């Protein structure tokens, strides 16, 4: 069992399994061919995540510590059939939803401008929009999208609309299909993107999508940078029609001198939705639960796909 966290720091791991620590360093802790359960190092990038896969000829489970699996998918063809790929649903909802709400509030209330004013010793008072009475559209209503809505509940929003890959009914109400976006976008004051990165969502937020958003609306992206067409977004930001708060960008990391850094009306955070103090306790609980089920021969949770 290859873990990126020392086994003695994870409470509840089953006995009788052979745990090896590997967090992406140059040397493997053992022969990859003997690994049965591979936990992908967290926040180390695609190259490190995929490096041992071709040699893992007996692996049965690949477990990510991220909600998205796009950094692992390119290497799935290296694996034998029948390998289960599991994501980290349940680990990142709290911290990512917190950041989404923080980005919405900071952008609407003008917090970046207040910080710049403080740095300059200037008292920049003025009238700012509130989240209260705003209409919010959540595009990508999985567990993170639902957690975002949970945190919006006390803020007296006029309406929260939900969009997912397919229509359904949630505990909070109707979830619309992606096909309903053209009708929903013109009504939203705040659009929060929380979709996984898939072929269907790559470039989803393109020029047409942005053009349908109402004047003065705020776009918040806590999903993946490639969900948004950067060039199209820059055109709207430079024109002053929309504002944006981005925890993820395309390209990422955003290089020095990129136009997004100085675009008007944009707040950028460096992909920090997941890595908070909330991460480690939840990650450890996930691994303890998954490995306990694995050792007992029980079905695993969070299975996204099985190689074939």
Q: Given 3-state DSSP classes, what are the helix, strand and coil percentages for the chain, each rounded to the nearest 5? A: 35, 15, 45
Q: Is 271 labeled as catalytic in the residue annotation? A: yes
Under a CB-based contact definition with an 8 Å cutoff, are residues 222 and 100 in contact? yes
Nearest to 219, CA basis, from 180, 185, 245: 245
Name the active-site residue from 71, 92, 176, 271: 271
**Which residues are within 8 A (CB) of 220 and not within 5 positions of it... i.e. 6 or more apart?**
100, 103, 104, 107, 190, 191, 192, 193, 244, 245, 246
- Report how far residue 152's alpha carbon sits from residue 171's, in angstroms, rounded to the nearest whole number: 15
Q: What angle do CA 176, 205, 216 make, to 5 degrees?
A: 90
3-state secondary structure of 255: coil
Under a CB-based contact definition with an 8 Å cutoff, are residues 230 and 249 in contact? yes
Residue 28: both structure tokens together = 């493997």
Stated as kind and residue range, the H or E segment containing 230 is: helix 230-239
Q: Which residues are catalytic?
A: 271
């Amino acid at each position: 069992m290859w873990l990126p966290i020392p086994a003695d720091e994870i409470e509840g791991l089953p006995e009788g399994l052979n745990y090896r620590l590997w967090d992406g360093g140059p040397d493997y802790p053992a022969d990859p061919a003997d690994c049965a359960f591979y936990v992908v190092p967290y926040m180390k990038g695609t190259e490190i995540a995929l490096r041992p896969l071709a040699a893992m000829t007996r692996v049965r489970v690949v477990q990510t510590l991220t909600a998205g699996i796009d950094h692992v998918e390119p290497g799935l063809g290296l694996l034998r059939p029948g390998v289960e790929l599991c994501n980290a649903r349940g680990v990142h909802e709290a911290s990512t939803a917190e950041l989404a709400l923080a980005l919405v509030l900071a952008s609407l209330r003008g917090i970046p401008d207040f910080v710049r004013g403080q740095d300059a010793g200037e008292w920049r008072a003025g009238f700012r929009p509130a989240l209260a009475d705003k209409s919010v559209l959540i595009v990508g209503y999985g567990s993170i999208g639902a957690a975002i809505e949970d945190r919006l509940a006390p803020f007296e929003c006029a309406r929260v609309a939900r969009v997912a890959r397919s229509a359904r009914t949630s505990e909070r109400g109707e979830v619309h299909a992606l096909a309903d976006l053209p009708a929903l976008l013109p009504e939203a004051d705040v659009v929060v993107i929380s979709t996984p990165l898939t072929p269907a969502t790559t470039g989803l937020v393109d020029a047409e999508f942005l053009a349908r958003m109402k004047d003065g609306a705020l776009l918040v992206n806590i999903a993946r940078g490639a969900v948004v067409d950067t060039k199209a977004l820059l055109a709207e930001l430079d024109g002053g029609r929309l504002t944006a708060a981005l925890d993820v960008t395309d390209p990422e990391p955003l290089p020095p001198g990129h136009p997004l850094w100085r675009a008007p009306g944009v707040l950028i955070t460096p992909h920090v939705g997941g890595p908070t103090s909330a991460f480690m306790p939840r990650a450890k609980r996930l691994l303890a639960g998954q490995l306990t089920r694995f050792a007992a021969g029980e079905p695993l949770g969070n299975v996204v796909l099985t190689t074939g």
